Amino acid sequence: MTAPLLEVKHLKTYFYTYEGTVRALEDVSFHINRGEIFGLVGETGCGKSVTARSAMRLIEAPGKIVGGEILFKGRDLLSLSEDELQKIRGNQISMVFQDPMASLNPLMKIGNQVAEVLKIHKKVESGEKLRKRVVEILRMVRLPSPERIVENYPFELSGGMRQRVMIAMMVSTNPELLIADEPTTALDVSIQAQILSIIKSMKEKMDVSVWIITHDLGVIAETCDRLCVMYAGAVVECGNVHELFQNPLHPYTQGLLKAIPKAHEKAERLDTIPGSVPNLISPPSGCRFHPRCARAGRECSERGAEKVKITDTHFVSCRRYTEGNREQ
């Protein structure tokens, strides 16, 4: 087997606030293979975006990465200088942030913003060649009339069009890994489908690995090859999409899937997971999900769960599974 493109090992990221230390990420581990679409899923506040920002070394005060490794092509990004990181960000790893309106400069035309990326990362000089390349990139993400859009400002475009511009900017440098943080949030269903289609098309055309962050299991099922489920700053289950949807093992994963309404069934009330997400300043002892888990035993509150290997691709962190299956 080839080595993973990105490997996150025992990552810990804390935020030091006046109220106390927020343990946002606690011992997070997973990997992303070359040429795959990987999904990180969980409810709001579980640490998905903090994980991505940690991987890009974009955590700002009062946050701090306090432990772990982030290996990109075998190099630990946490050990690199800022100058070394600048050669990787944008060129080899690109990130589409959650809100494209906040990411785009409202005072610059779209064409100038895409051109700026090419000037900085690809050293393309100004002129007709640069303009043609910008139009070509915008056309690649299926924007209508890209020759006109290069003259528009962000506020003149719809949310879906701005999202396409962000994707265009990030793939213009031919990165090896594209991180898409909630790429379909606040878009209607038809536009969501178009954005996901564009991401899959970019993966095939450019041979780029994609890391999608979302709370929407429908997006995962439609797009991803493999996924990990996060809860309260910890990874609770990982596997390929088929086995995780067909055989969810962690009680949290099972709860998420049960909460999805089924088109062929009538129900007066939707299934929910009882309780609420814990305060990460004072998280529960042991397994962080145990206060909401109907199957939790005393040992779940006393000791954290260790990762158990179910198959070569399926892992779960839960004390319900046998000691003999635990990964060494």
Strand partners, 14: 23, 64
β 177-181/93-96 pair status: parallel
| pLDDT tens digits, 153-203 | 999 999 889 999 999 999 999 999 999 999 887 778 888 888 889 999 888
Mean pLDDT of 204-210: 90
Provide the pLDDT for residue 325. 46
pLDDT above 80 (res 50): yes
Pair 195, 160: CB distance under 8 Å: yes
Contacts of 79 (CB under 8 A, 6+ apart): none
The Cα–Cα gap between 135 and 273 comes to: 47
| pLDDT tens digits, 76-134 | 999 999 999 989 998 999 999 887 778 899 999 999 999 999 988 877 777 888 999 99
Provide the pLDDT for residue 322. 59
The sign of the torsion formed by the CA atoms of 291, 296, 298, 301 equals negative
The Cα–Cα gap between 315 and 234 comes to: 13
The Cα–Cα gap between 48 and 32 comes to: 15
The Cα–Cα gap between 319 and 290 comes to: 10
β 209-214/37-41 pair status: parallel
Position 5, amino acid: L
| pLDDT tens digits, 131-153 | 999 999 999 999 999 999 999 99
Least confident of 37-41, 42-46, 73-77, 183-187: 183-187
Residue 274's Cα: distance from chain center in Å? Answer: 26
What confidence category does residue 328 fall into, taking pLDDT thresholds of 50, 70 and 90? Answer: very low
Q: All domains of the chain, ordered by start, with CATH?
A: 6-92+175-325 (3.40.50.300), 101-174 (no CATH)
